Amino acid sequence: MLRKVELIMYKTIVWIFIIFIFTTKVYADVEWGGGNVRFYSYDKELLTNYNGLASLVAVRQGKLINLNNSKLEESNIWVTPGSIITDEENINVVVSVSWAFDDGLLWMSGSPYLSTSDMISYGLLPGDKFYLIVWDRNTFNWNHPVEGTTYTIDNMYIDGDITKPATSYGDDDFGDMIRPEKKQTTAVCDQYFLKTKCDINNDERITIKDLIIFLQIFSNIDVQIQNDIKYIDINNNNRIDYVELFYLLKLIFVY
């Protein structure tokens, strides 16, 4: 009797395993690039690996977050792989970045593919939608976007087919090749948190005028207001000191 029960249990386990194998979807890597879409800088120049940067962003919850959302405090999160961006209602993840531009084209061969293990580590779920953000690095401050930075947001599709939106996890062992649509619209960052550091008078330049205002604030710590601190504070210690002074002097007299 015991032998018969063991045999039944064994057959049941085998059947469960077979059903699992044939009904469970096999997830695969995602390869991404620009296809035959040409991207341009703000000055209408074709992007290259010197002035272009692409971010592949997955919407883990809700929808794509507005880059000018006032709840966001840092701009470099949009160009840093692994960044989790949230405005409390929506959750986005920057899953990969690429500089592989040549003559305006974003080459798939130069863009890092997104492996299944990476997607799992980022907490992505099957069906999470992908977007491509292409940045004009000529409008960056150091290595991240600021107020005035220009960018293009495109939906991503499997093989560029607009009837097949690209989502996390490929359909087969070879993965999905995903590309943006050809229609492009250039936008400009205009939110407070993207303001260029040390552009105190908000004239989109860092000049002697900013240095004079800085010295006036620096000489009397009591007059530092929160907005001034946020505009000038380089090392995020909630005050301005010699670190910010040397930084400003370097911006004005070295570059």
pTM of the predicted protein model: 0.69
Q: Where among 165, 194, 223 does a domain terminate?
A: 194
Q: Assess contact for 192 and 144: CB atoms under 8 A.
A: no
Q: Is residue 80 part of a domain?
A: yes
pLDDT at 128: 94
Residues 76 and 168 in one domain: yes
* Residue indicated by tokens 């997830």: 27
Strands 91-98, 52-61: parallel, antiparallel or unpaired by DSSP? antiparallel
- 59 part of a folded domain: yes
* Domain encompassing residue 63: 30-194
Query: How much is the pLDDT for 8?
Result: 55
DSSP state of 204: S
Do the strands 30-32 and 176-180 form a parallel or antiparallel pair, or are they unpaired? parallel
pLDDT at position 225 is 52
Residues 249 and 185 in one domain: no
Centre a 10 Å sphere on the Cβ of residue 155 and count the other Cβ atoms it contains. 16
Is 24 inside any structural domain? no
Q: What is the pLDDT along the chain (255 residues), one digit of tens a residue?
A: 545 545 555 555 545 544 444 444 556 789 999 888 899 988 889 999 999 999 999 999 999 998 887 777 777 889 999 999 998 889 999 999 999 999 999 998 899 989 888 999 999 988 999 999 999 998 887 778 877 888 999 999 988 888 999 999 877 656 789 999 777 777 777 665 565 667 676 666 778 887 887 787 777 655 555 455 656 766 667 677 777 788 778 777 765
